[in-house]
Structure 1
Amino acid sequence: MRCSEISGIRPGGKTALLLAVVVVLWTWLVVPSVGASARILEPEPAVGSADIVLLVDESSSLSTDDVRREREAAAVIALGEFAPASRVAVVGFGSDNGASGQSAVDVVCPPTIVATAQERQVLSDCIGRLRGRTAAEGDGTDHYAALSQAMSYLSGSAADQKMIFLLTDGRLDVGDSEAYGSTSSAEERNKVALEKVDETLAAARAKGVTVWPLGFGTVDRAQLDRFAAGGHQGSCGRGVAKPTATVIEGSGDVVWALLQAYRLGRCAGGGEPREVTLDPGATAETTVDIPLIATDGSIVVVKQDPRLAVEYVDPDGRAVPKNGTVDDSTFQVSGENGAVEALRVVNPKPGPWTVRLKSFPNLPRTTATAVVTWQGAVRAVLTVDPPSPTAGQEVAIALALRTRTRPITDPAALSGLDFAVDSGFAGPVTLTDDGRAPDTAAGDGIHTGRATVPADAKGDFEVTGTVSGVGIASDTRSVRVPIATGPPELSATTSLDDTEAAPGAAIDGVVEVANTSGRARRVRLQLADIAPGTLVSVPGDATTFDVPPAGRESRPFRLDFADATPLGVNSFTLVLVDDEVPEVVIHRRQFTVDVVRPTPYARIGVVGGGVLVAVAALVAFVVWRRRRDVRGLVLHLTDRGRPRGDLAAPEMPARRFRFAVEDHPGGPARLEHTDAADAYSLTRVGGALRLHHPTGEVRDFLLGDRVALAGELSLAVVDERAAVVDDVPTL
Structure 2
Amino acid sequence: MLAAALLALAPLPGRATAAPAQDPTPSATASPGAGAGPDATSAASAIGPVNYAVVVDESGSLQPADLAREKDAALRIALGDVSPASTVTVLGFASADNASEHVVDEVCPPTALDAASRDRLGDCVGQLRGRRQDEGWDTDFPNALSQAVNLLSTGTDPQTPRVLFLLTDGQLDVSHSTLYGDEAHRAQAGQDALVRELAAAKGARVQVWPLGFGSDVNQGELDLMAASGYQNGCVDLPDARPRATTVPDSAAVGGALQTAFAAAHCLRSTPGDSGHPPVDLQVRISPLATVGSIVVDKGDPQVTATYTDPAGHQITGTGEAFGSRFELAGRNQPVESLRITDPVPGLWRVHLDAPPDHRGQLASVSVLWHGELRGSITLDPPSPRAGRPTVVTLRLQTREGFGITDPQDLQLLGVTAQLTGDGFAPVPVRLADDGLAPDAAARDAAFTGTVTVTAAATGRLTVSGTLTATGLTAGNLSEGTLVAPPVVLVTAALTAAGGSAHTSDHLTGALSVHNGDSVPHTLRVQVRDIADGLLTPSPAQLVLAPGESRTLSAGFTVAGRAAFGRQLDGGRARLGGKIVVLDSTDHDRVLAEPQLALTVTPRPGFLARYRWYLLAGAVLLLALTVAIVAQRRLAARRRDAAGLPLVLLDDTGAELTTQRAKSGEHGWFEFDVQDAHTATPRIVRRTGGSYRVQRHPDGGARLAGPGIATTRLQVGFPVQLATNLHLALGSEQRRPTAPGPGPTADYNDLL
TM-score, structure 1 normalization? 0.69
Change (3 A) 1:242 1:216: farther
Check the 8 A contact 1:303/1:340 in 2, yes or no: yes
Q: C-alpha separation between the residues in 1 aligned to 2:180 and 2:103? A: 12
Gaps in structure 2 of 5+ consecutive residues: 1-37, 621-751
Q: CA deviation at 1:493?
A: 4.5
* 2:558 equivalent among 558, 561, 569: 561
One-letter amino acid matched to 1:375: H
Check the 8 A contact 2:413/2:445 in 1, yes or no: no
Q: C-alpha separation between the residues in 2 aligned to 1:81 and 1:117? A: 11
One-letter amino acid matched to 2:242: P
Q: CA deviation at 1:74?
A: 0.5
Q: Give the corresponding residue for 2:251.
A: 252
* 2:596 equivalent among 588, 591, 598: 591
Provide, for residues 576-635 of structure 1, a one-character-per-residue CA deviation record: whole Å limited to 9, x for no partner: 22344675544444423210134688735589789979x9xxxxxxxxxxxxxxxxxxxx
Q: Larger RCO: Structure 1 or Structure 2 (Cα < 8 Å, ≥ 6 residues apart)?
A: 2
One-letter amino acid matched to 1:228: A
Q: CA deviation at 1:354?
A: 1.3
Q: C-alpha separation between the residues in 2 aligned to 1:583 and 1:548? A: 17
Q: C-alpha separation between the residues in 1 aligned to 2:370 and 2:67? A: 29
One-letter amino acid matched to 2:132: T
One-letter amino acid matched to 1:337: N
Which one is further off, 591-600 or 72-81?
591-600
Q: CA deviation at 1:502?
A: 0.4
Q: C-alpha separation between the residues in 2 aligned to 1:428 and 1:573? A: 24
The SS at the match of 1:304 is: coil
Q: C-alpha separation between the residues in 2 aligned to 1:383 and 1:208? A: 41
Q: Give the corresponding residue for 1:574.
A: 579
The SS at the match of 2:344 is: coil
Q: Give the corresponding residue for 1:80.
A: 80
1:113 aligns with 2:112: yes
TM-score, structure 2 normalization? 0.67
Gaps in structure 1 of 5+ consecutive residues: 1-38, 616-731
Change (3 A) 1:553 1:211: farther
Change (3 A) 1:308 1:183: closer
Check the 8 A contact 1:304/1:340 in 2, yes or no: yes
Q: Give the corresponding residue for 2:136.
A: 138
Change (3 A) 1:147 1:499: farther
Check the 8 A contact 1:267/1:473 in 2, yes or no: no
Q: C-alpha separation between the residues in 1 aligned to 2:373 and 2:457? A: 33
Provide, for residues 534-569 of structure 1, a one-character-per-residue CA deviation record: whole Å limited to 9, x for no partner: 622123xx2223446458754431110122242312
1:266 aligns with 2:261: no
The SS at the match of 1:70 is: helix
Q: Give the corresponding residue for 1:92.
A: 92
The SS at the match of 1:522 is: strand
Q: CA RMSD in A?
A: 3.5
Check the 8 A contact 2:43/2:291 in 1, yes or no: no
Check the 8 A contact 2:504/2:603 in 1, yes or no: no
Change (3 A) 1:592 1:212: farther
Q: CA deviation at 1:227?
A: 1.3
- The equivalences for 1:438-517 within 5 A come to 438-439=438-439, 445-473=445-473, 477-483=477-483, 486-517=486-517
Q: CA deviation at 1:66?
A: 1.5
Check the 8 A contact 2:520/2:543 in 1, yes or no: yes
Change (3 A) 1:290 1:159: farther
Check the 8 A contact 2:263/2:470 in 1, yes or no: yes
Q: Give the corresponding residue for 1:192.
A: 192
Change (3 A) 1:602 1:526: farther
Q: C-alpha separation between the residues in 2 aligned to 1:363 and 1:270? A: 28
Q: Give the corresponding residue for 2:319.
A: 324
Which one is further off, 339-348 or 256-265?
256-265
Change (3 A) 1:327 1:599: closer
Check the 8 A contact 1:497/1:509 in 2, yes or no: yes
* 2:214 equivalent among 213, 216, 220: 216
Check the 8 A contact 1:571/1:593 in 2, yes or no: yes
Q: C-alpha separation between the residues in 2 aligned to 1:494 and 1:354? A: 46
| Percentage of pairs with the same residue | 32
Check the 8 A contact 1:544/1:579 in 2, yes or no: no
The SS at the match of 1:258 is: helix
Check the 8 A contact 1:44/1:404 in 2, yes or no: no
Q: CA deviation at 1:371?
A: 2.2
Check the 8 A contact 1:73/1:255 in 2, yes or no: yes
* 1:414 equivalent among 406, 410, 413: 410
The SS at the match of 1:427 is: strand
- The equivalences for 1:35-434 within 5 A come to 46-100=46-100, 102-114=101-113, 116-155=114-153, 157=157, 161-181=161-181, 185-203=185-203, 207=205, 209=207, 211-231=209-229, 232=231, 234=233, 240=239, 242-278=241-277, 283-361=278-356, 363=358, 365-384=360-379, 388-405=383-400, 407-412=402-407, 413-424=409-420, 425=425, 427-433=427-433
One-letter amino acid matched to 1:87: T
Q: CA deviation at 1:404?
A: 4.0
One-letter amino acid matched to 1:423: L
Q: How many residues align?
A: 563
Q: C-alpha separation between the residues in 1 aligned to 2:429 and 2:279? A: 51
One-letter amino acid matched to 1:62: L
Q: CA deviation at 1:342?
A: 1.0
Change (3 A) 1:496 1:93: farther
Change (3 A) 1:106 1:338: same
Which structure's CA Rg is the greater one? Answer: 2
Q: CA deviation at 1:486?
A: 5.0
Q: CA deviation at 1:418?
A: 0.9
Q: CA deviation at 1:181?
A: 4.2
Check the 8 A contact 1:420/1:465 in 2, yes or no: yes
One-letter amino acid matched to 1:557: A
Change (3 A) 1:552 1:171: farther
Q: C-alpha separation between the residues in 2 aligned to 1:607 and 1:493? A: 38
Provide, for residues 677-708 of structure 1, a one-character-per-residue CA deviation record: whole Å limited to 9, x for no partner: xxxxxxxxxxxxxxxxxxxxxxxxxxxxxxxx
Q: C-alpha separation between the residues in 1 aligned to 2:497 and 2:444? A: 15
Q: Give the corresponding residue for 2:529.
A: 529
Q: Give the corresponding residue for 1:543.
A: 540
Check the 8 A contact 1:296/1:377 in 2, yes or no: no
Q: C-alpha separation between the residues in 1 aligned to 2:246 and 2:441? A: 46
Change (3 A) 1:84 1:320: same
One-letter amino acid matched to 2:560: D
Q: C-alpha separation between the residues in 1 aligned to 2:116 and 2:402? A: 34
Change (3 A) 1:248 1:368: same
Which one is further off, 559-568 or 335-344?
559-568
